[in-house]
Amino acid sequence: MAILCDKSARLIVQGLGRMGRFHAGLSRDYGSQVVGGVAPGKGGSEIDGLPVFDTVREAVAATGADASVVFVPPPGASDAILEAADAGVALVVCITEGIPALDMLRVKRALRGGQTRLLGPNCPGVVTPGQCRIGIMPAQITRPGAVGVMSRSGTLTYEAVDQLSRLGIGQSSCVGIGGDAVIGTTFVDALALFEADPETKAVILIGEIGGNAEETAAAFVRAKMSKPVVAFVAGQNAPPGKRMGHAGAIIAGGHGRASDKIAALEAAGVAVAATPAEIGETLAKRCPALAR
Amino acid sequence: MNVHEYQAKELLRGYGVPVPPGRLALTPAEAEVAARGLDAKVVVVKAQVHAGGRGKAGGIKLARSPAESKRIASEILGMTLRTHQTGAAGKLVRKVWVEAGCEIERELYLGLVLDRAAEDLAIIASTEGGVEIEEVAGRSPEKLATVHVDPATGLQPFHVRRVAFALGLGADALAKLEVFLGGLYRLFVEKDATLAEINPLVVTRAGDLFALDCKLNFDDNALFRHADVRELRDPDEEDPREREAHAHDLAYVSLDGDIGCLVNGAGLAMATLDMLRAAGGAPANFLDVGGGTSQERVAAAFKLILEDPQVKAILVNIFGGIVRCDLVAEGVVAAARELGVRVPLVVRLQGTNAAEGRALLAGSGLDITPAETFREAAERAVAAARAAGA
């Protein structure tokens, strides 16, 4: 069934601005079940054919939604995530870029031990090819298959997926975990899901400078993964102390360097692509059976 | 976002954290007046730039009289300070902080940081103050104590006790540390800091605690709710092109190569630098035009790249997701026509509406080298820069 979502997912949209509406439409065109939207004060109306509710609780009660995608701007985004969790939504995908890190610390603390899984924020979402699209990914470049893809970067996810598809290698699920310092679903969480998913035969991890998510993932791969893992780490030429676009992508105090991450991954038996143009080829070499 | 030491100290004072009295001076004459006003046996004249290691570089000096303060300030003001954090270019000193000296008994280290791995706030304390904390961590990690604070409860008295004992402060200093750390914690949380570092935290002969130096970093993502912090931004401390990029909401970092890069998405933009290096080239910049890219932003990005005299070729690398390649192509064509691109231009468009985008570029009559794959794009840009540089 791939991971995080399949064709049974019932999706609501929080934040029905220009971007939320545009991508809700694309998700619906892709075949996802988009069942409603939440816009406080506009409950009872309809936007683009979607029933609109004032609160997430009302939306869930009326539609049976089990997934939500959040497009709410940064000042209200953490509140939107917590509202979805409070309403019992199982999967919340937060696209919003620019949420204060302390807000996310409190959100993560609140979600701990609960029933809600958060993907993001500052992420492109998830596509399970042929079944479901939640977020903003260009789903037309994906194709159904057996490789799980996960990345801290949106556009690098597309790059990797495109390289795979051009080589005739399909994907089980393509997951953007987000570029912020504090995120919901981590590499380790996604690795565990891919390891448990019978349809996934191999995993691609696309990391970048900053933090220690790649090192933690490497330790998990070594201890728990039976499936082959291929990786790329962006930012090998990033200067220290500069934030490289993503809030989480900064080499600080000698920590978070690409070279350390690559070394940790290689020591765990992960095949690391030398350049971003060789992600697909590296997987094809490592898993010849999938490339046919 | 970084702030100056004097700005950090003013914030600390507002939260009840003791700092020595001091005044800002923009001229040697002001430094003399400041020193006189402080009524201290010894004052310290400190260069105000956004960089550590100022003392070793000659940016911090003692003065025993107002006249000496004036002389020292005249040396420091206008000097270019080169420390391990400024790079070879150094930083021009435009202001000094004149501060009353204090009688130091011990120098300690106290830091508060957003710990992304533990997903909480971490207090770092060490008896080794006044030196780089990274150096202590490497040399004697047992001298660092880390106390994690759950964001749900905030700072509790037991956290303060743990820090006090780790710092070897006696029971009599506990109340003083409670005020100090309590203020620092409130400042951190209320103003959305990501790092607050007091180094050194000094214990005076009288047993008082003072923040002798302070470094504060604030979360750029939270500046929307802190007008007071936004006002502390010092444009003189920023790279002029990075400042211009900031005004257009572009993520830009200056580098020292000759290939200008215009990319969508931070990850792809970082990977583009890596790919250019792997192909034997040298990127002139990191530039992420972002998700909601408009024609205006593409034009602003082009302008920034072209203003860099080092640039000998430009690589546009776009993988359209939210971004539509045809809109980017329109922006590229408009910018190239308006600004008159003087260097070779290599453009790769993939993803949403890529075919339409490529058709627009091909029909524009401009001299644009198209590329299909990531590798091809990098190799063509490197070749173009080489040909232009020869």
Shortest CA distance to B337 belongs to which of B298, B309, B372?
B298
| Residue B153 burial (CB count, 10 A) | 9
Cβ contacts of A152 on chain B, cutoff 8 Å? 267
| Architecture (CATH level 2) of domain A142-286 | 3-Layer(aba) Sandwich (3.40)
Hey, are the CB atoms on B274 and A275 less than 8 Å from each other? yes
Instruction: Kindly state the DSSP code that residue B15 receives in the 8-state scheme.
Output: T
Q: Kindly list the structural domains of chain B, giving each domain's residue range(s) and its CATH number in brackets, ordered by start.
A: 1-20+103-237 (3.30.470.20), 21-101 (3.30.1490.20), 239-389 (3.40.50.261)
Q: Which of A211, A237, A242 sits opposite B274 (nearest CB)?
A: A237
- CA nearest to A248, candidates B267, B15, B85, B128: B267
Residue B215: strand, helix, or coil:
strand
| Per-residue pLDDT, A292 | 65
Peptide bond into B200 cis (omega under 30): yes
Which residues, other chains included, contact B324 with Cβ-Cβ below 8 Å and sequence gap of 6+?
B352, B353, B357
Tell me the domain boundaries of chain A. 10-119, 142-286
Query: What's the per-residue H, E or C state across A7-53?
Result: CCCEEEEECCCHHHHHHHHHHHHHCCEEEEEECCCCCCCEECCEEEE
Q: Do B266 and A100 touch (CB under 8 A)?
A: no
Q: Closest CB to B266: pick one of A98, A102, A249.
A: A249
Mutate to test the interface with A, among B219, B270, B315 (most CBs of A within 10 A): B270
Which of these, B144, B151, B150, B69, lies nearest to B108 by C-alpha position? B144
Higher pLDDT, B84 or A155: A155
Please tell me the distance in Å from B287's CA to the nearest CA on chain A.
8
Asked if residue B129 has pLDDT above 90, the reply is no
Query: How many Å apart are CA B356 and CA A271, to the nearest integer?
Result: 36
Q: Which residues of B are catalytic?
A: 109, 197
Strand duo B91-92 + B80-81: pairing:
antiparallel
The arithmetic mean of pLDDT across residues B13-41, rounded, is 95
How sure is the predictor about B224, in pLDDT bands with cuts at 50, 70 and 90?
Answer: very high
pLDDT for position B265 = 87
pLDDT per residue as tens digits for the range A213-266? 999 999 999 999 999 999 999 999 888 777 777 766 666 666 788 999 999 999
Q: Find the CB nearest A74 among B114, B224, B288.
A: B224
Partner residue facing A105 (CB), from B119, B134, B253? B119
Please give the radius of gyration of chain B, using alpha carbons only, rounded to the nearest integer: 25
- Which of A102, A156, A248 lies at the smallest CB-CB distance from B265? A156
pLDDT of residue A229: 97
The model's pLDDT over B70-97, given as tens digits with 9 standing for 90+, comes to 999 999 999 998 887 777 778 899 999 9
SS3 call for A187 = helix
Residues of chain B contacting residue A241, judged by C-beta atoms under 8 Å apart: 85
Span A164-181, mean pLDDT? 94
Q: How far apart are CA B178 and CA B110, in angstroms?
A: 13
Most B CBs within 10 Å: which of A103, A126, A155, A167, as the mutation test of the B interface?
Answer: A155
Q: For B134-160, what is each residue's pLDDT tens digit?
A: 788 878 888 889 999 999 899 999 999
Which residues of B are less than 8 Å from A75 in CB distance?
224-225
Q: In this complex, do A101 and B85 lie within 8 Å of one another by their Cβ atoms? A: no
CB B60 within 8 A of CB B200: no
What's phi and psi for A92, nearest 5 deg? -115, 120
For B225, other C-beta atoms within 10 Å of its C-beta total 14
* Burial class of B268 by CB neighbour count within 10 A (0 to 12, 13 to 18, 19+): buried
Residue whose pair of structure tokens reads 């500046």 in the numeric block: B223
Angstroms from A231 CA to nearest CA on chain B? 13
Q: How far is B288 from chain A (nearest CA, A)?
A: 6
The percentage of residues in chain A with a pLDDT greater than 90, rounded to a whole number, is 83
**Among B133, B189, B270, beta carbon nearest to A244:** B270
Report the b/e string of B249-267 with b at 16+ CB within 10 A.
ebbbbbbebbbbbbbbbbb
The average pLDDT across B48-63 equals 89
Contact B200, B108 (CB under 8 A): yes
Identity of residue A90: A
For the beta carbon of residue A255, count every other beta carbon within 10 angstroms: 17
CB contact under 8 A, B253 and A239: yes
Q: Which of A196, A93, A100, A203 is nearest to A154 (CA)?
A: A93
Chains A, B: CB pairs < 8 Å: 175
| ipTM confidence | 0.87
> Is A171 a residue whose pLDDT tops 70?
yes
pLDDT for res A4: 94
A274 CB neighbours in chain B (<8 A) are 278
> What percentage of chain A exceeds 70 in pLDDT?
96
CA distance A203 to A173: 10
Q: Which residues of B touch A136 (CB under 8 A)?
A: 291, 321-322
DSSP string, B97-109: EEEE---EEEEEE
Is residue B378 within 8 A of residue B386, CB to CB? The reply is no
Q: Indicate which residues of A carry an active-site annotation.
A: 246
Residue A253 to chain B, least CA–CA distance (Å)? 7
Q: C-alpha dihedral over A99, B216, B153, A247, to 10 degrees?
A: 20
Provide, as residue numbers in chain A, all residues whose Cβ is less than 8 Å from the Cβ of B378. Answer: 277
Contact B322 A274 (CB under 8 A): no
Distance CA B92, CA B233 (A): 16
Please report the pLDDT score of residue A252 as a whole number.
Answer: 67
User: Can you read off the two tokens belonging to residue A82?
Assistant: 């917590």
Confidence of residue B34 (pLDDT cuts 50, 70, 90): very high
Residue A51 β-bridge partners: A46
Confidence of residue B324 (pLDDT cuts 50, 70, 90): confident
Minimum distance, in Å, between the CA of residue A180 and any CA atom of chain B: 10
Whether B225 and A275 lie within 8 Å, measured CB to CB: no
Question: Measured between beta carbons, which residues in chain B are less than 8 angstroms from residue A137?
Answer: 321
Instruction: Choose the closest CB to A276 out of B151, B152, B374.
Output: B374
Strand B193-204 vs strand B144-149: parallel, antiparallel, or unpaired? unpaired
Same fold, A10-119 and A142-286: yes
The answer to whether the CB atoms of B274 and A162 lie below 8 A apart is no
pLDDT band at A1 (very low <50, low <70, confident <90, very high): low
State whether the Cα torsion B147-B151-B155-B157 is positive or negative. Answer: negative
Angle at A45 (CA atoms; ends A42, A48), nearest 5 degrees: 110
Residue B383 dihedral angles phi and psi, to the nearest 5°:
-65, -40
CB-CB under 8 Å, A276 with B265:
no
Tell me if B266 and A245 make a contact (CB, 8 A cut-off): yes
B-chain residue closest to A254, CA distance: B134
Domain A10-119 architecture:
3-Layer(aba) Sandwich (3.40)
Name the residue among B221, B114, B185 with its Cα closest to residue A78. B221
DSSP bridge partners of B193: B218
| Rg from Cα positions in chain A | 18
pLDDT value for B292: 63
Write down the residue that tokens 């939207």 correspond to: A37
Q: pLDDT tens digits, residue range A26-69?
A: 999 999 999 999 999 999 999 999 999 999 999 999 999 999 99
Instruction: Give pLDDT tens digits for B160-208.
Output: 999 999 999 988 889 999 999 999 999 999 999 999 999 999 999 999 9
Chain A residue numbers touching B117 (CB-CB < 8 A) = 211-212, 216
**Cα-Cα-Cα-Cα dihedral sign, residues A24, A27, A31, A33:** negative
Residue written as token pair 């092109």: B241
Tell me the C-alpha distance between A181 and A211, whole Å: 7
Is 90 exceeded by the pLDDT of residue B285?
Answer: yes
Distances (CA, A) of B219 to A75, A203, B64: 14, 33, 39
> Which of chain A's residues have a Cβ under 8 Å away from the Cβ of B283?
237
CB distance B319–A151 less than 8 Å? no
In chain B, which ranges are continuous DSSP H helix? 5-14, 28-38, 66-76, 133-139, 157-166, 171-190, 227-230, 240-247, 266-278, 295-307, 325-339, 354-362, 374-389
The letter for the amino acid at B298 is V
* Consecutive H or E run containing A63: helix A56-63
CA distance B36 to chain A (A): 38
B4 φ/ψ angles, rounded to the nearest 5 degrees: -75, 160
Bridge partners, A255 (sequence order): A252
- Report the alpha-carbon distance of residue B200 to residue B212 in Å, rounded: 6
**Cis omega (within 30 of 0) for bond into A121:** yes
User: How close A222 comes to chain B (CA, Å)?
Assistant: 19
